[in-house]
Amino acid sequence: MKIAVLGAGNMGLSFSKSFLKYELIKPENLHLVTRKKEKVNKISRNFPGSKVSVFSDLKTIEADLVIIAVKPQDFQFVAENISFQFKENQMVLSIMAGIKIEKIQKFLNHKKVVRAMPNSPTLLGMGITGYTAAEGISFPDLMQIERFLNSTGRSVYLEDENLLDGVTALSGSGPAYFYYIVDAMIKAGTKMGIEENLAKLFVKQTMLGAYHLINNSEKSLEELIEDVASKGGTTEAALKVFDENELKETLRKGILAAEKRSKELSN
């Protein structure tokens, strides 16, 4: 199978590395396309054996799967400046946030489009990607796409494309919410006199351990909280302040604001 990646930025290169790491494709069957000539040499060094092209020089594209990994705001420029026609049997996989299948089909004049929403941990092979597809794409084609997406972590198929706005808000933007909370905890630690690097160690290891408890315990989140928050104790004192300041509601509102923005970008 031959794959071309239009947009050799962080996410496009991350996907490409995963495909090669798990030997889903051979280096010579990977074609990376960038808009910036100055990036060609660096990309070529990092992907020996693969073809690297500048977008403006691209006259044809020989690939079974074409991944559109440009920034959403750059898509219209890219689509309007493509100097070739997609072949009927070529699959297009978009990993652009907020741009709907119908728009991609219209701008590329091509029907076989799959739309996916990955998140930044795909850079480590620990991401999660929601994806959906245009009508008429076969089950074997979808399974092939899922195989590639799973090389970057996990993937979930969604029949309703509109749910991708929620996926964008929940998991696409989600890592930033955790970084935000971790940052607040570290700063609280330094405020209490704990040296910053030590505060980082305590908070990061606590987060890692809590994740594994969530992942391996049969208890609900409420039960896990109760296990830590003994009556009249320190955890209860913190949770009381969180509740008084409606932290859960604030987080919920923020995530819904992210969904709203995703919908706006889709239009």
pLDDT band at residue 30 using 50, 70 and 90 as cut-offs: very high
Contacts of range 59-62, beta carbons closer than 8 Å, 24 or more positions apart: 59/83, 59/84, 60/84, 61/4, 61/31, 61/33, 61/86, 62/2, 62/4, 62/31
Q: What is the CATH number of domain 173-266?
A: 1.10.3730.10
**Binding-site residues for NADP(+), please?**
6-11, 34, 69-72
| Range 211-215 average pLDDT | 96
Q: Which residues contact 141 (CB under 8 A, 6 or more apart)?
A: 91, 112
**Residues making up the binding site:** 6-11, 34, 69-72
- What pLDDT, in 10s, does the model give residues 115-140? 999 999 998 999 999 999 999 899 99
Structure confidence at residue 68 (pLDDT): 97
Taking only the tens place, the pLDDT of each residue in 155-180 is 999 999 999 999 999 999 999 999 99
Q: Where in the chain is the domain with CATH 3.40.50.720?
A: 3-159
- Alpha-carbon distance 32 to 37, whole Å? 12
The pTM for the full model equals 0.90
- The pLDDT of residue 83 is 84
Return the pLDDT at 48.
Answer: 96
Asked if the model's pLDDT at residue 17 lies above 80, the reply is yes
Residues forming CATH 1.10.3730.10 domain(s) in the chain: 173-266
Give the DSSP H/E element, type plus range, for residue 67: strand 65-68
- Centre a 10 Å sphere on the Cβ of residue 179 and count the other Cβ atoms it contains: 11
Q: What's the fold here for domain 3-159? A: Rossmann fold (3.40.50)
pLDDT digits (tens, 9 = 90+) for 4-16: 999 988 999 999 9
